[in-house]
Structure 1
Amino acid sequence: MNFVKLTLMCLIMSLSATATAGLKRYPHPNPDMPFSLATQVDNIVYLSGQIAADEHGQLADNITEQSHQVMKNIKSALNSIGLDMEDIFKCTVMIDDIAQWPDFNKVYVQYFSKGALPARSAFGVDGLAMGSMLEVECMAHKRRM
């Protein structure tokens, strides 16, 4: 009976270790934020949604400037964990006025190499953090472990 209990306990412990072995969390630079900057599972990095707040927490009042700020925030977040824009393979765009989607697209494409655009989804939403006009979350491939 003790052998069965010991075997079962070893199995549970090894499964627990395996479940977190490929998991890494990158803390948000602001410790008051209730989420990680990114989470990595094996070689996939899930970047938390980035809004258009600048380093002072301010938001521009138009979609073009906010779009540039979001993309700069994405680039900065990726760089802080050893990645760059070319590592992104999927983005999800949330925009509070879908009629402004073409304006966002004009800015978005400037941040990627020609022919290297990630897969993407976009949808209109009703309300984003801090009153941002858009939020973009990304998934990236970390080749360098």
Structure 2
Amino acid sequence: MTRKCLNKWTAAFALLACAGAASAQEFYNQGNPPGRPFSLAVRTGDFVFLSGQLGTGPNGLVKGFEAQSRQAMDNIAGVLKGMNLGMDNVVKCTIMIADMSKWEDFNKVYVTYFKPGRLPARSALGANGLALGGEIEVECMAYAPVKK
């Protein structure tokens, strides 16, 4: 990467940090299972950072890759809804897949959660040993300007 490009990234991250530093943080934990050592989401400034979601329902990890994919995305949507936000607020997702040969299978599920032509930026990576033996984990960042 060139120095000019790095300087742009440094400036962008500095602006993001300053935007969050100007306001208090809000920790969202509604529905977080007891004993889980994380917040479901944290708002800082105009950004909401969601913890990674597995394909877990009320009875634990659901069975099958497609079902886990849908459940993980439903869990993301549920956290957002609890904060009066929606999938339109999502600007970045990171997808961790235990078996990268299922990447296209996940994509088929993933695109159904967003409006056509309005897909967030995204990274996907193969991950060994996801929590609870999950096959997929999804974490997202949302943009939701603080109402003044």
Deviation at 1:64, TM superposition (A): 1.2
Q: 1:39 aligns with which of 25, 37, 42?
A: 42
Cα RMSD (Å) = 1.7
Q: Could you tell me whether the CA contact under 8 Å between 1:28 and 1:35 is conserved in 2? A: no
The within-5 A match list for 1:37-76 is: 37-60=40-63, 62-76=64-78
CA distance in 1, matches of 2:30, 2:60: 14
Q: Could you tell me whether the CA contact under 8 Å between 2:21 and 2:44 is conserved in 1? A: no
Q: Could you tell me whether the CA contact under 8 Å between 1:92 and 1:122 is conserved in 2? A: yes
- Distance change (3 Å), C-alpha of 1:119 and 1:109: same
Structure with max Cα Rg: 1
Point out where structure 2 has 5 or more consecutive residues left out of the alignment: 1-19
Residue 136 (1) aligns with residue 138 (2): yes
Runs ≥4 in structure 1, deviation > 4 angstroms? none
The one-letter amino acid paired with 2:99 is D
Equivalent position SS for 2:145: coil
- Distance change (3 Å), C-alpha of 1:21 and 1:106: same
Query: What's the TM-score, normalizing by structure 1?
Result: 0.82
Equivalent position SS for 1:82: coil
Which residue does the alignment assign to 2:108? 106
Query: What's the TM-score, normalizing by structure 2?
Result: 0.80
Deviation at 1:21, TM superposition (A): 3.5
Deviation at 1:86, TM superposition (A): 0.5
Point out where structure 1 has 5 or more consecutive residues left out of the alignment: 1-17
Residue 87 (1) aligns with residue 99 (2): no
| CA-to-aligned-CA distance 1:74-122 (integer Å, 9 cap, x gap) | 1111101111001000000000001100000000001100011000000
CA distance in 1, matches of 2:29, 2:70: 24
- Distance change (3 Å), C-alpha of 1:19 and 1:116: closer
Deviation at 1:19, TM superposition (A): 4.9
Q: Could you tell me whether the CA contact under 8 Å between 2:61 and 2:68 is conserved in 1? A: no
